[in-house]
C-alpha cells in the first residue's frame, strides 16, 4: 500500500509540474504577443488628405485609423478621449474605420463606432477596403497621425505601450506635448494592435489581454 501511495504521489507531482510548465509557456506567449508591435509603413511625402477627412486648417487634426471590432483599440480610444480632456479644444479628431467591401449597416454597430461618435469635433469616416489607411501607411488598428493646421504630419504611430494597455505611453505623451506646443521626446511610436484588415481581431485581442 505504501508503494502504491508513493507512486500516486509521484504521478501527481509530475502532472502538477507539467501543468506549471504549460501555464508559464502560455503566459509567456501571450506576453510576447501583447508586447509585439505591428507593422508600419512610412507616410508618403507630399501625401494629400482625402476630402472625406476634412482636416482642420485652424488647429491640429488627430486622425485615428482603426478596425471597429478590435478590442485592443478600446485603449487607444480611451487615450484619445483623455487627450480631449487634457487639451480641450486643442485639436479636431477624425476616426477612420475599416469596412469590408459591401458591408451592411450592422458592421458599424460596435462600441468603438459609438464612442467615436461622442468625441468632440470628430468626424467618423468609413474606409471600404482600407484604402485611406493604406495610403497613409496605417496597417495596424490604433495607428494615429497628427497633422498641423497646414496638413503636415507632426506625429505618426500608436498611443498605447502594448495591446489593450491604458495609461501613459511614448506616443500619448508625445502627442500631448505637441498639442501643448512643447517639443516631444519623439515624433513616432510603435503601434500595438491587430491588422486593420484582419478578420479575427476579437479573438486575438481578447487572448492578448488574457
Contact call for residues 148 and 180 (beta carbons, < 8 A): no
Q: Are 210 and 30 in contact (CB under 8 A)?
A: yes
Instruction: Tell me the C-alpha distance between 5 and 20, whole Å.
Output: 22
pLDDT in tens, the chain (210 residues): 565 555 555 454 444 443 333 333 333 333 333 445 456 656 667 777 888 899 999 999 999 999 999 999 999 999 999 999 999 999 999 999 999 988 888 999 999 999 999 999 999 999 999 999 999 999 999 999 999 999 999 999 999 998 778 889 999 999 999 999 999 999 999 999 889 986 555 544 444 333
pTM of the predicted structure, to 2 decimals: 0.78
Of 188, 141, 186, 192, nearest in space to 166 by CA: 192
State the cell numbers at 183: 517639443
Q: Crossing angle of helices 73-86/170-179, nearest 10°?
A: 30
Q: Are 99 and 113 in contact (CB under 8 A)?
A: no
What is the per-residue pLDDT for 170?
A: 95
Domain 61-209 grouped into CATH 3.30.70.240: no
Amino acid at each position: 500500500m505504501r508503494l502504491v501511495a508513493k507512486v500516486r504521489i509521484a504521478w501527481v507531482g509530475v502532472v502538477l509540474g507539467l501543468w506549471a510548465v504549460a501555464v508559464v509557456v502560455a503566459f509567456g506567449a501571450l506576453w510576447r504577443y501583447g508586447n509585439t508591435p505591428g507593422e508600419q509603413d512610412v507616410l508618403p511625402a507630399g501625401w494629400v488628405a482625402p476630402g472625406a477627412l476634412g482636416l482642420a486648417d485652424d488647429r491640429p487634426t488627430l486622425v485615428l485609423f482603426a478596425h471597429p471590432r478590435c478590442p485592443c483599440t478600446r485603449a487607444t480610444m480611451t487615450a484619445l478621449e483623455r487627450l480631449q480632456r487634457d487639451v480641450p479644444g486643442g485639436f479636431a479628431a477624425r476616426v477612420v474605420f475599416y469596412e469590408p467591401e459591401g458591408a451592411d449597416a450592422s458592421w458599424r454597430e460596435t462600441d468603438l463606432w459609438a464612442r467615436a461618435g461622442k468625441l468632440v469635433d470628430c468626424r467618423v469616416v468609413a474606409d471600404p477596403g482600407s484604402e485611406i489607411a493604406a495610403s497613409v501607411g496605417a496597417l495596424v488598428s490604433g495607428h494615429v497621425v497628427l497633422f498641423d493646421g497646414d496638413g503636415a504630419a507632426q506625429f505618426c504611430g500608436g498611443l498605447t505601450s502594448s495591446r489593450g494597455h491604458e495609461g501613459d505611453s511614448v506616443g500619448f505623451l508625445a502627442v500631448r506635448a505637441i498639442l501643448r506646443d512643447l517639443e516631444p521626446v519623439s515624433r513616432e511610436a510603435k503601434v500595438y494592435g491587430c491588422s486593420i484588415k484582419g478578420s479575427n481581431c476579437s479573438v486575438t485581442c481578447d487572448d492578448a489581454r488574457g
